[in-house]
């Protein structure tokens, strides 16, 4: 993805977030230089990879297959392993109309996916085989606003604003916006996007960035290069 396109997506996402009554934290608007200057005090943000995240999954067509994310807060794996401390994470996502977030699962993370506003969120579900792999012929059990629901393989559930689904490790899912763009909330256990996204098809989690302009704000995938 071109950096100039990433900057455009950031600006559009910020407008949608504000439209639905949310405000991103102050560090969202730091310039790369300010982030570098404050890297010592912001070490938790860097290590936990909080911030902007825009991906086309390496496909090169963001409008067809992609996702906007902003990690608001995130704990650490050591706390999760010990079962105490900061064991949670929170994100805002935007799924555009007919924009696919492809079929995937998580080995560790449980998550609530919440329609925070906009159009209809569609979530397609499959179960796992005995080894946790994608199972075309298996369904499973999820919670819909806390209510148990047995899903069939390939079932597509639709969520209006305010409605939610709880997904546990091994629940294979894909999602997209239907009838317009959707602002999504994600509340989960500690999030590790580098190792805990298991895709059905061989695709990448992060976009390859073409530096045609200087970044307005850093992506979480920029931190290792810019901040060390």
In contact, 211 and 4? CB cutoff 8 Å: no
pLDDT in tens, 81-131: 899 999 999 999 999 999 999 999 999 999 999 999 999 999 999 999 999
Choosing among 3.30.830.10, 2.40.10.10, 3.10.20.600, 2.60.120.10, the CATH entry for 3-226 is 2.60.120.10
The structure tokens 């931190």 sit at 223
Quick: pLDDT tens for 100-114.
999 999 999 999 999
User: How far is 13 from 68, CA to CA, in rounded Å?
Assistant: 8
Within 13 A of 31's CA, how many CA atoms are on the CB side? 4
Cβ burial of 102 (10 Å; 0-12, 13-18, 19+) is middle
| For the chain, domain boundaries | 3-226
Task: Give per-residue pLDDT as tens, 155-206.
Answer: 999 999 999 999 999 999 999 999 999 999 999 999 998 888 899 998 877 7
The sign of the dihedral angle between the CA atoms of 109, 53, 76, 205 is: positive
State phi, psi for 125 to the nearest 5 degrees.
-125, 145
For residues 38-61, average pLDDT: 95
Average pLDDT, the chain: 95
pLDDT of residue 195: 86
C-alpha dist (Å) from residue 131 to 103, 111, 142, 191, 224: 17, 20, 19, 22, 33
Measured distance between the N- and C-terminal CA atoms of the chain, rounded to whole angstroms? 22
Supply the pTM of this predicted model. Answer: 0.95
Three-state secondary structure string covering the chain: CEHHHHHHHHHHHHHHHHHCCCCCCHHHHCCHHHHHHCCCCCHHHHHCCCEEEEECCCCCCCCCECEEEEEEEECCHHHHHHCCCCCEEEEEEEECECCEEEEEECCCCCEEEEEEEEEEEEEEEEEECCCCCEECCCCEEEEECCEEEEECCCEEEEECCCCEEEECCCCEEEEEEEEEEEEEEEEEECCCCCCCCEECCCCCCCCCCECCCCCCCCEHHHHHHHCC
Has residue 228 got a pLDDT over 80?
no
Identify the pLDDT of residue 202. Answer: 83
**What's residue 166's pLDDT?**
98
pLDDT at 59 over 90: no
pLDDT of residue 207: 79
């Amino acid at each position: 993805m071109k950096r100039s396109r990433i900057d455009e997506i950031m600006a559009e996402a910020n407008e949608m977030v504000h439209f639905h009554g949310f405000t991103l934290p102050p560090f969202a608007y730091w310039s790369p230089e300010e982030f570098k200057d404050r890297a010592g005090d912001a070490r938790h943000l860097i290590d936990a990879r909080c911030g902007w995240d825009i991906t086309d999954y390496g496909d090169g067509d963001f409008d067809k297959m992609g996702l906007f994310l902003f990690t608001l807060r995130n704990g650490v794996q050591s706390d999760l392993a010990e079962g105490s401390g900061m064991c949670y994470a929170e994100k805002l996502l935007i799924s555009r109309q007919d924009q696919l977030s492809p079929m995937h699962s998580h080995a560790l993370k449980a998550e609530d996916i919440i329609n925070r506003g906009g159009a209809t969120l569609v979530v397609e579900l499959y179960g796992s085989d005995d080894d946790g792999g994608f199972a075309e012929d298996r369904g499973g059990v999820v919670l819909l606003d806390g209510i148990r629901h047995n899903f069939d393989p390939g079932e597509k559930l639709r969520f209006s604003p305010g409605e939610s689904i709880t997904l546990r490790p091994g629940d294979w899912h894909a999602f997209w916006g239907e009838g317009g763009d959707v602002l999504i909330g994600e509340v989960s256990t500690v999030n590790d996007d580098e190792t805990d996204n298991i895709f059905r098809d061989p695709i990448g989690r992060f976009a390859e960035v073409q530096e045609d302009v200087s970044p307005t704000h850093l992506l979480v995938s920029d931190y290792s290069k810019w901040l060390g």
